[in-house]
């Protein structure tokens, strides 16, 4: 096997012929009714207060449903080491804390990394139909659905594949960001 074929297998997310990158295979086209985004304007104290009240209502109204799980995701980067912390909670279960570390990561990759770590934990829970991901990186989260962005492509293809499996499991599965 020549060297070029080995590299294509390792870095297939950059292959222009990778079917995951075709526009018709993107989440935005295949599952546009299976996810939504809630954006908060953090500049105004009133909008922050309204947004926090909205989050409280979501948690209060849905936490008794065993088919819904919450993921609170955050990350930090120091000396090129990223730490992603995700708290996952499902009705009548203890909160599970997941910590992931990665090295040699850039600041542009750290937010998709955190989203990937948190969402992966929730996607593989059994009998879950609705995932609510709470993150302060909503702008990076929206980029999950745009695979033409090369800076994030490795993380995005990995997230894309996992979310696609979740949506395929059940027609009613849904993710809120």
pLDDT 10s digit of each residue in the chain, 177 long?
445 544 444 444 455 556 666 666 667 677 778 777 777 666 778 888 888 888 888 888 888 899 999 888 888 888 878 888 888 988 888 888 988 888 887 766 777 777 777 888 888 888 899 998 887 766 666 666 665 555 556 666 777 788 888 888 888 998 888
pTM: 0.73
Task: Quote the CA–CA distance of 123 and 162 in Å, as a whole number.
Answer: 7
Task: Let me know if residue 9 belongs to a domain.
Answer: no
Distances (CA, A) of 132 to 52, 141, 173: 14, 13, 11
Task: Let me know if residue 8 belongs to a domain.
Answer: no
Task: Let me know if residue 124 belongs to a domain.
Answer: yes
Q: Domain range for residue 53?
A: 26-176
CB hemisphere CA count around 88 (13 angstroms): 22
Task: Let me know if residue 115 belongs to a domain.
Answer: yes
Q: How many helices (H) and strands (E) does the chain have?
A: 6, 6
Domain count, the chain: 1
- Measuring CA to CA, which residue among 74, 84, 85, 71 is closest to residue 132? 71
Task: Let me know if residue 150 belongs to a domain.
Answer: yes
Domain with residue 71: its CATH number is 3.30.420
């Amino acid at each position: 096997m020549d060297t070029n074929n080995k590299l294509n297998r390792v870095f297939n997310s950059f292959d222009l012929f990778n079917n995951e990158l075709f526009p018709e295979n993107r989440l935005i086209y295949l599952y546009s009714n299976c996810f939504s985004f809630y954006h908060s304007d953090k500049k105004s104290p009133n909008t922050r207060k309204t947004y926090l009240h909205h989050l409280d209502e979501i948690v209060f109204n849905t936490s008794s449903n065993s088919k819904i799980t919450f993921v609170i995701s955050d990350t930090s980067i120091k000396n090129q080491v990223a730490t992603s912390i995700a708290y996952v909670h499902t009705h009548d279960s203890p909160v599970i804390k997941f910590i992931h570390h990665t090295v040699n990561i850039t600041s542009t990759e750290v937010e998709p990394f955190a989203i990937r770590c948190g969402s992966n934990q929730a996607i593989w829970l059994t009998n879950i139909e609705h995932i609510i991901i709470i993150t302060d990186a909503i702008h990076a989260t929206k980029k999950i659905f745009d695979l033409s962005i090369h800076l994030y492509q490795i993380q995005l293809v990995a997230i894309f594949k996992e979310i696609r499996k979740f949506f395929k499991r059940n027609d009613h599965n849904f993710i809120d960001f």
